[in-house]
A and B are shown apart, each in its own frame.
Chain A
């Protein structure tokens, strides 16, 4: 029957690599920001030791994992979630949804309002993580772009934004 054919969907390698890089950078920045910004540190203080959370894309990644070690330090734990217990698991429903988020075409709130974000785990903790990610975005992004990514741009002092930004960038790139 020539009415039937088979299609092998093409992989979306470019988008996956882009998202993977963004996740890597956000992960390292969260680690950096937890040492630079006191509000972010405070959010993490309430999490138990050994706590982990992951942000990524269903069904096969990429992912990033961030956790709190025994000393209470926040650490970027890499892209591999295999063998790790994940306490709060946040996933975009597909690559395209993640691409919209990480190209700032959709804010976190918009993405969740559009039902593209799955959150599994304790809700108050997940809420705290979203606040942390929002703050990290304020540090990393120029105001014009950050405004697209969050609901309300905070009224931080110029010093807090600028100094924090350079320290977080520096630490995120060097990885400490």
Chain B
């Protein structure tokens, strides 16, 4: 068992999960002394009928202050301020956020504004500037991926000043995360694959990066097992309610793991590809995952080998000789991408060069790789990666991931 010498661990969010979990929300709000929530969502969420399901589940017992579903993908300060005004005008006393990362971040921002009565959100950016409990916030994730229902951070853009503000505080955590299988049941296979691979990456990076600790390890192991046992099944049978619930649980477990143990170079590179080429986060995650395992192999072989148990299952673990287990994990990570590629009729990308946008254009031209490598050096996750990464290292990995060939491990500089 690995002992890190010193660690901090916290999972303060109450988690309520099940096939009928939404029905518990009025009780949760009641416990928080609130009875008029503002519901935040985006058009995709309402389009899929999810807000309707939520309303039906709670409106008998509680008055909904307002439903606001025009949060854009790239939400910003203006949206936050507008929604804060709605909250005040309608006399709301709690927020329910239904959606993915953008909705969650926006909700956290709105919560700061309405709780601190702030006219300038900027004052509260950075770490530890919030000192008080905010208004009740309930998070309902609609993808099984980001884990942002249990993370302390929020990123809010100010498009006018062309700036991104980072907020981190335990007070930003939702009071409760409600995981309900109905909320992910209609997620198309391709999105399911992408977001679940984000969760998978959270768990694997949490288990292998520098801030790992025994309790987050337990979360990671459990999350990896649940995803690998259910993902392919759910992608092939989207209506599998139990599988959906398992993935939702796994994403939250992975979120708990990585918000305590942080993530490494999969995210370092993934964030940069996302920032420069606007590739969806989960796609980057699944592509870089095998490469990060190869790159860090010499530092963390024993941790990678342990992952074979949850990832490959007990039979595979038993039949794989001890010294080949870590290699097997890398092989499985690649195979999983291939299987998802097959199961989504090629929509799930395996390498950078095959990522296409809706019009079928290539999203990551090869000549962007140098810019991506340079950007990667500025990503905070780089410090939690087991091995050092400089510009040349990033470029080497990017090139291999672009072509879809394994890393030439003789070229890895070992510290």
Contact = CB atoms under 8 A, between A and B. Distances in A.
B383 A130 contact: yes
B4 interface: yes
Contacts of A45: none
A114 B383 contact: no
B414 to A, nearest CB: 7
Nearest to B166: A123
A125 B386 CA distance: 21
B10 to A, nearest CB: 10
Interface of A: 108-110, 112-116, 118-121, 123-128, 130-131, 150-153, 155
A127 B262 contact: no
B370 to A, nearest CB: 15
Interface in B372-403: 375, 377-380, 382-384, 386-388
B27 to A, nearest CB: 34
A114 B6 contact: yes
B294 to A, nearest CB: 16
- Which 3 residue pairs of A and B lie closest in terms of their CB atoms, listed nearest first? A152-B415, A124-B378, A152-B388
Main secondary structure of the interface of B (DSSP, over half): loop
A115 B8 contact: yes
Given A109-B383, A113-B384, A118 B127 contact: yes
A113 B378 contact: no
B380 A113 contact: no
A114 B4 contact: yes
A115 B382 CA distance: 15
Contacts of B379: 123-124, 127
Nearest to B209: A113
A119 B388 CA distance: 19
Contact of B210 (A110, A123, A131, A152): A110
Contact of B388 (A118, A124, A150): A150
A174 B379 CA distance: 36
B414 A152 contact: yes
Contacts of A155: 413
A128 B388 contact: no
Interface string B61-98: 00000000000000000000000000000000000000
Q: Which residue, B210, B375, B379, has most C-beta atoms of chain A within 10 A?
A: B210
A120 B8 CA distance: 19
Contact of A118 (B8, B128, B415): B128
Given A110-B210, A113-B262, A114-B4, A151 B377 contact: no
